[in-house]
A and B are shown apart, each in its own frame.
Chain A
Amino acid sequence: MSIKVEHLTHIYNKGLTYETVALDDVSFEIETGAFAGIIGHTGSGKSTLIQHFNGILKPESGRIFVNGTDITEKGIKMTEIRKRVGLVFQYPEYQLFEETVAKDIAFGPTKMGLSEEEIDKRVRDAMELVSLDYDIYAGRSPFELSGGQKRRVAIAGVLAMKPEVLILDEPTAGLDPRAHREILDMLEKLHQLEGCTVILVSHNMEDMAEIADTIIVMEHGKIVLQGTPREVYEHRDLLMDIGLEPPAAMQFTRLLEEKGIKLPGSVMTMNETAEAILRLLRN
């Protein structure tokens, strides 16, 4: 499922003295099956942007197409859109409320009016996707779990709705390196196995280099850069200007270049850097 945005503008507190333009004439397209990354600082408008994709926020002006359907038009049932565009908010573990993990994950599917069996199947599938053993965790209270586990339950709650587009706002914020890795691996698996379009909002440039195939960089409510990670990271100075550091691998190649060492090809990740250095030294 694709998402296309045309001239999207969003203003908070319109007409009041503290009115702020959160999105300013934003246009772009994310194709079906893409793994897209949206990067930017807190307050750059990235969170506001993604809340338009499933109609939780309404734009001041502009149009949003989900698979060709303009969801800003009158008469569009938002509940239908929300079944197909799943949105995982920041710190989603704080939205858990049910007595058991299974019940909490079932919240979305139940609201969709699915049959008992279908709901049960979806809960099991979603738990498997986030690597939580059904037999162990289904009956447990979500509040007894660790931070990383809670977060996976919350993500499973959205996955159980089987969305065609999955949007996640900073899904690894505050997690330790291990839990961080687990969430990234899970997203990759989801993207490959389920074939769903994934939109990841993050300020972690390393993750983006590794996982995303297209990146949108936002600043002050505008898109400042757009393209593949390689294309975007070429604009090193611009990124530094808005306070985003390129991935460590690119910082390192820069250091090497200053010493007159030019690595073959362009590198973005640890693996690529290691290979390029080996190639250079072995030749």
Chain B
Amino acid sequence: MLKDITLGQYYPGESVIHRMDPRFKIIATLLYIVALFVMVNFTSYIFTVTFLVVVVALSKVPLKFILRGMKPIFIILILTFLLNLFLTKGGDNIFSIGFLSITTQGLRSAVFLASRLILLITSSSILTYTTKPIMLTDGIEQLLKPFRKIGVPAHELAMMMSIALRFIPTLMEETDRIMKAQMARGADFETGNLIVRAKGLVPILIPLFIGSLRRADELAMAMEARCYQGGDGRTRLHSLKYSHLDLIGAIAIAALLAVLIIQRIYFA
């Protein structure tokens, strides 16, 4: 089941979007999210949607893959839609049963909010689909570097993230093995009420926790043996470089923002 989650995964490729600098992609994604909150009317929607459609097309990530990533948040999406649909009042009444009623304002707000959510998730998943996790951490480290003076531990954060990325598959395997081993000893994770099931997790969580501590200990020792002494004086194999692709991207996202701001000032 865990394998079905594509959200946050990397989709290998060589597209123009893949080749952009991770730092630019992170900033562009943040700007796009800002854009989603700047838009006010239907025209703005056309611009933001078109922009994303073009990006998705350029990234060559299959639509199927993106839709599959949407699955885990499907329920949240439906819930947001319904809540807005029924609870926002204003405008004309379209439909009502009992105490529930749908108004034009409600419908409008529900559609806008749900589509905003879809755009938000699609845009941020395009970032992770087209950027290797390790590049993403590098990008974050570089972007946070200027804030080190005010105490942001940029290197440490990035190192923690990359170690986490490295160990997620290992810990998943270990969880699987411990679970099977306890099942072989008669543990049952599938029946019983919530409390029984939560208690049933103890034989998995404790070995997993102890195992992680042991791993952390050994890893720390191995890192020290390889002369790790924090971020100072460290060089990198891959250095990040902006290319003309990033410039084109920057112009595009700036243009989108400009259009949306104009819309907001003159047409809202």
Contacts and interface: CB of A to CB of B under 8 A. Distances in A.
State if A and B touch, Cβ cutoff 8 Å. Answer: yes
A82 B185 CA distance: 7
Contact of A97 (B177, B184, B207): B207
Given A13-B3, A51-B180, A97-B202, A158 B185 contact: yes
Interface string B166-190: 0000000010011011111111100
A95 B210 CA distance: 10
Nearest to B182: A95
Interface residues of B, number: 19
B184 A111 contact: no
A169 to B, nearest CB: 10
B200 to A, nearest CB: 10
A246 interface: no
Interface in A134-174: 143, 157-158, 161
Contact of A157 (B177, B185, B188, B206): B185
A111 B188 contact: yes
Contact of B206 (A54, A97, A158, A161): A97
B178 A82 contact: no
Contact of A56 (B180, B202, B207): B180
Contacts of B231: none
B203 interface: yes
Contacts, number: 59
Contacts of B206: 97
B203 A89 contact: no
B181 A95 contact: yes
B90 interface: no
Contact of A79 (B3, B174, B188): B188
B72 interface: no
A66 to B, nearest CB: 14
A107 B185 contact: yes
A82 B186 contact: yes
Contacts of A13: 3
21 contacts: A79-B188, A82-B185, A83-B186, A87-B181, A89-B180, A90-B177, A92-B181, A94-B177, A94-B178, A94-B207, A95-B178, A95-B181, A95-B182, A97-B202, A97-B203, A107-B185, A111-B185, A112-B186, A158-B184, A158-B185, A161-B186
